[in-house]
Amino acid sequence: MSNGACARVRIVAVDQVLEAGLRSAIEPDPHLELVPPDADHDVTVVVADVIDDATLELLRTVRAPDGSAAESVLVAAVLDAPGTLAAIRAGASAFLLRRDAGADRLRIAAHAALNGDCVLPPHLLDAVAKMAGELQSPAPAAPGALALSVREQEVLRRVADGHETADIAADLAYSVRTVTGIMHDITSRLHLRNRAHAVAYALRVGLI
């Protein structure tokens, strides 16, 4: 869906006051159509004060009408690295602080989620990547990671950890050109758009 198209948005909130505030921000935007919770929709906006167990449960239980996982945007008053990391694992695709959740940014976040992208506030990107690297799990990667070669997994894991191309090349004893080529192949095949998207993908397939 292009950024000019109208996205059907439903709101799921932990309380009615939070829902009303977000609704007032979305309603004037001609590119975002608010729909009831049980109607067909393109993206779900989950709004909360903080990322706690209740918020994570909302994210995990959000489903599209056909029962599949829905594209979701999380709007919260507080976003920190541990909570954001947990929310990515629970299925959130894009993140906004409530104070920044005007119509323009909500539209950008909704369309990013629909396009399979991941949007994080700039101050969180490095912190989330660093924490994800520190919490690497020895558990087997999910089936989605099997489409990647071992070499590609090594590179993507380091990108998601926040390492720059030259550092990855030195760490793996590759040339910078080789690492650049590997990342080009990965991003083209998996439609990864930026470091935030790489973090989200690596988390979801169990690479980190």
Expressed in angstroms, the distance from the first to the final Cα of the chain is 29
Distances (CA, A) of 72 to 85, 110, 159, 165: 15, 8, 24, 30
Angle at the Cα of 101 (from 10 to 112), degrees rounded to 5?
65
Domains of the chain with CATH codes: 7-119 (3.40.50.2300), 130-204 (1.10.10.10)
Angle at the Cα of 14 (from 117 to 81), degrees rounded to 5?
45
Q: Could you tell me if 91 and 62 are in contact, meaning their C-beta atoms sit under 8 angstroms apart?
A: yes
Helix (H) / strand (E) element for 74: namely: strand 72-76
Classify residue 191 as left (phi > 0), alpha (psi -120 to 50) or beta: left
C-alpha to C-alpha distance for 30 and 194, rounded to whole angstroms: 28
Residues of the chain with pLDDT under 70: 1-5, 63-70, 116-117, 129-130, 132-147, 162, 193-196, 199, 204-208
- State both tokens at 32: 């975002």
Q: Supply the pLDDT for residue 76.
A: 92
Q: Could you tell me if 109 and 103 are in contact, meaning their C-beta atoms sit under 8 angstroms apart?
A: no
Number of residues that make up the chain:
208
Count of H-run helices and E-run strands, the chain:
9, 5
How many CA atoms, within 13 angstroms, populate the side-chain half-sphere of residue 108? 10
Q: Supply the pLDDT for residue 70.
A: 62
- State both tokens at 120: 């994080």
Q: Could you tell me if 195 and 125 are in contact, meaning their C-beta atoms sit under 8 angstroms apart?
A: yes
Instruction: Round the CA-based radius of gyration of the chain to a whole number and report it.
Output: 18
Q: Supply the pLDDT for residue 5.
A: 67
C-alpha to C-alpha distance for 3 and 145, rounded to whole angstroms: 29
- pTM of the full structure: 0.64
